[in-house]
């Protein structure tokens, strides 16, 4: 499948302050791509460069073959966008805002727009300033989806939404994906990305530190096994086994907690030599993996470097 977003060595700084440096990645048409990173990592800068709100210092960014800066008008016809901090005319009602943007986009399917309003149960007769944070977010979400764009660029889209509406949003992303549309979604809520995305890019300090499938990222995870024994067992039994990264003794030697990477076959066979009371395995979420990338200011951990 062809790439709809292509970013090569994109660099942007704000005077002496860092923005992003040499960011490169591509997103294929039809995929749901998660762009992960903590606050200030450079996610919004990257997105605003794609949207031609910022001018890059160097590097290139293309969407559907169009240069993001020089051919931004062509690109904007293809895109639905949600900014990280949406600001709209506070004196317009939600309905007026949606109609205004519908006109600016050259018209939208009114029936579909009404359907979206119903779907989010939004009272569109209130002024934007009178909306709660969640309702403001709903207005912005609807304006991004209402013209059925080929590409959705969403910067922290569910911030402020309640779980029910987050679920509705997940459905809308799924539907967009099923229709072959592309979604580029930035977030620091990893469970959201884990749930909705097929591929993720992790950005730290203005640089991409890893790109991979969600499944692939999870495959390089460390996981934990905790084994409780009827009698104390020496920790040395497990330390040298294949796949064991670390061993911790618990409960006065009656249990061990093993940090694992790779196959658990050797551990299971070794444990079978002792009377086992219980065995539990804990699979880390993407959150855990993500946190490990940011747990120090040093370079990414060994396994991340190996896969990236």
Where on the chain is the footprint of another protein (CB under 8 A)?
Answer: 14, 48, 51-55, 73, 76-77, 79, 81, 83, 85-90, 93, 95-96, 98-101, 103-106, 110, 113-114, 117-118, 122-126, 129-130, 140, 143
Nearer to another protein (CB atom), residue 25 or residue 128? 128
Nearer to another protein (CB atom), residue 123 or residue 248? 123
Nearer to another protein (CB atom), residue 132 or residue 280? 132
Nearer to another protein (CB atom), residue 102 or residue 266? 102
Closest separation between CB of residue 84 and another protein, Å?
10
The span from the CA of 280 to the CA of 264, in Å, is: 12
Nearer to another protein (CB atom), residue 80 or residue 300? 80
Closest separation between CB of residue 202 and another protein, Å?
25
Closest separation between CB of residue 119 and another protein, Å?
11
Closest separation between CB of residue 80 and another protein, Å?
9
Closest separation between CB of residue 13 and another protein, Å?
11
């Amino acid at each position: 499948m062809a790439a709809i977003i292509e970013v090569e060595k994109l660099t942007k700084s704000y005077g002496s302050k860092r923005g992003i440096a040499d960011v490169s990645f591509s997103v294929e048409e039809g995929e749901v791509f998660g762009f992960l990173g903590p606050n200030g990592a450079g996610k919004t800068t990257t997105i605003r460069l794609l949207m031609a709100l910022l001018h890059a210092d160097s590097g290139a960014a293309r969407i559907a073959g169009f240069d993001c800066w020089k051919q931004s008008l062509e690109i904007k016809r293809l895109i639905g966008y949600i900014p990280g901090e949406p600001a709209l005319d506070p004196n317009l009602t939600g309905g007026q805002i949606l109609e205004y943007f519908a006109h600016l986009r050259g018209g939208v399917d009114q029936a579909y727009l009404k359907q979206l309003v119903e779907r989010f149960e939004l009272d569109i007769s209130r002024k934007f300033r009178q909306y709660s944070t969640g309702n403001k977010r709903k207005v912005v979400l609807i304006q991004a989806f209402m013209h059925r764009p080929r590409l959705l660029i969403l910067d922290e889209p569910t911030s402020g939404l309640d779980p029910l509406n987050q679920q509705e949003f997940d459905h809308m992303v799924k539907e967009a994906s099923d229709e072959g549309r592309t979604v580029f979604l930035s977030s620091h809520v990893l469970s959201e990305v884990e749930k909705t995305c097929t591929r993720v890019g992790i950005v730290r300090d203005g640089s991409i530190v890893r790109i991979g499938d969600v499944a692939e990222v999870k495959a390089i995870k460390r996981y934990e096994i905790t084994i409780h024994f009827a009698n104390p067992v020496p920790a040395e039994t497990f330390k040298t086994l294949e796949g064991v990264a670390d061993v911790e003794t618990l409960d006065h030697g009656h249990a061990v907690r093993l940090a694992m990477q790779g196959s658990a076959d050797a551990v299971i066979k070794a444990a079978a030599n002792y009377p086992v009371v219980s065995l539990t395995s804990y699979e880390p979420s993407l959150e855990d993996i993500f946190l490990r990338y940011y747990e120090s200011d040093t370079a990414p951990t060994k396994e991340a470097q190996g896969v990236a």
